[in-house]
Amino acid sequence: MAVENVVIIGSGPAGWSAAIYAARAELRPLVFEGAITEENRINGTLPLGQLNLTTEVENYAGFPAGDLTAYLNAAIEPAARKLMPPHSGHGVSGPELMELMRQQAKNFGARVITDDIVKVDFQRHPFVLTASAGEVTQSQTVIVATGARANYLGLPSEEAYKNRGVSACAVCDGALPRFRNKPLLVIGGGDSAVEESTYLSKFASRVYLVHRRDQLRASKIMAQRAETNPKIEIVWNHVLDEVFGTDADGVTGVVLRGTDGGQTRKLAASGVFLAIGHTPNTAFLEGQLKLTDQNYIKLTTPFRTHTSVEGVFAAGDVADDYYRQAVTSAGAGCMAALDAERWLAAREH
Ligand SMILES: Cc1cc2nc3c(=O)[nH]c(=O)nc-3n(C[C@H](O)[C@H](O)[C@H](O)COP(=O)(O)OP(=O)(O)OC[C@H]3O[C@@H](n4cnc5c(N)ncnc54)[C@H](O)[C@@H]3O)c2cc1C
């Protein structure tokens, strides 16, 4: 069986950036971009990653607002272009950015398999990877870039208003015009819920931080930040019961349910931000790499993408519970490809 130089698992900004760098270094990378299955659709882990689930991307450097129709038509293969939604005319969307990254990787010779890796063996070298269709691949190095999925509550109304007022990323979406000077809701009670509320308070007319308990889980200093911010109102002992809205406006309000008596109350809101954590896509590793207590891949050397197994590198949100942005993931993908290239070069000499 032929042994690959680099296998990249994952198809978000980290995976494609790694593929672009590895392909330009003539390592002929093989990318497993994930499978198109109902399970991946429900989990939000279809190929092209988390950005493929959103609309406008205003903060990825290099894409100021503008009409990209001609560029998208010229840059992306017609077969893929045909399947994409029409361009908005005012800036790059998440799916467009991801198709551009995928295309760029393919242009340099990256090979792409549309399947999940379901099993790895990092105890032996070359490493052995098994895809869900049963295909077995051997590789000298592996870059894990499988991302982390945002947790949602699972309400049907929440699903119905995703991208129309429901989001799981305040830093990504909070500055969008639809949320400016409007009342917004944050669901959660930890540090990230406070951080998201504080961030949103810059744009919103009011932020309701809805927590199911009578005390925040956030650290004391973070909790104080929320409690003393005049724009943030904490709604204690409540959970989100329903999101409602209209086709024209998206989210217009929510129904909250009290946790102590079950009574409900309505609140007007133009946005609902879930801040109830992320689940890193690491289950398929089955303990073969060291993970953090939150199941993110543990990086073993500061400012490097090294993992607990030599020759296996990790990039993007799967190893980063802190920044969680497309541009930081892309940067880490570049680093992982350079680390893999140097690791291979060192072994050859
Ligand atoms: C609603 C929303 C809006 C966002 N908006 C922005 C924004 O405007 N700007 C910004 O910078 N960031 C934004 N983000 C964050 C950004 O999307 C992530 O930080 C980024 O996508 C992480 O990239 P990644 O490459 O690490 O992983 P991901 O994008 O998560 O991609 C990983 C992908 O790899 C594939 N995969 C997973 N497991 C396997 C496996 N076993 N085998 C094969 N393939 C697998 C899946 O397709 C998975 O989706 C947003 C996130 C969300 C949820």
User: Which tens digit of pLDDT belongs to each residue from 87-127?
Assistant: 999 899 999 999 999 999 999 999 999 999 999 999 999 99
Distance 291 CA to ligand 1 centre (A): 19
CB 49 within 8 A of CB 15: yes
- Annotated active-site positions, please? 169, 172-173
Which among 58, 54, 92, 129 has a CA at the least distance from the CA of 284? 129
Q: Which atom of ligand 1 is nearest to the CA of 325?
A: 19
Tokens 């971009």 found at: 33
Q: Which atom of ligand 1 is nearest to the CA of 59?
A: 9
112 pairs with which residues across the strands? 31
CB 85 within 8 A of CB 54: no
User: Measured between alpha carbons, how far is 326 from 172 in angstroms, rounded to an integer?
Assistant: 9
What are the angstrom distances between the C-alpha of 137 and each of 6, 52, 118, 131, 191?
11, 27, 12, 8, 41
Q: Which atom of ligand 1 is nearest to the CA of 284?
A: 41
Residue nearest to atom 3 of ligand 1 (CA): 54
- Give the residue, out of 142, 146, 289, 324, with the most ligand 1 atoms within 8 A of its beta carbon, to mutate for a pocket test: 146
User: Measured between alpha carbons, how far is 197 from 202 in angstroms, rounded to an integer?
Assistant: 9
Do β-strands 264-268 and 250-258 pair in parallel, antiparallel, or remain unpaired? Answer: antiparallel
Helical H segments across the chain, by residue range: 13-24, 38-43, 69-75, 78-83, 94-107, 156-160, 170-173, 191-200, 220-228, 326-348
* Low-confidence spans in the chain with pLDDT less than 70: 349
Q: Which atom of ligand 1 is nearest to the CA of 53?
A: 1
User: Measured between alpha carbons, how far is 30 from 204 in angstroms, rounded to an integer?
Assistant: 44
Distance 73 CA to ligand 1 centre (A): 24
At residue 349, the pLDDT reads 57
Distance 46 CA to ligand 1 centre (A): 10
The answer to whether the CB of 140 is under 6 A from ligand 1 is no
Residue nearest to atom 6 of ligand 1 (CA): 172
Distance 338 CA to ligand 1 centre (A): 21
At residue 219, the pLDDT reads 87
Give 177's DSSP letter. G
The answer to whether the CB of 34 is under 6 A from ligand 1 is yes
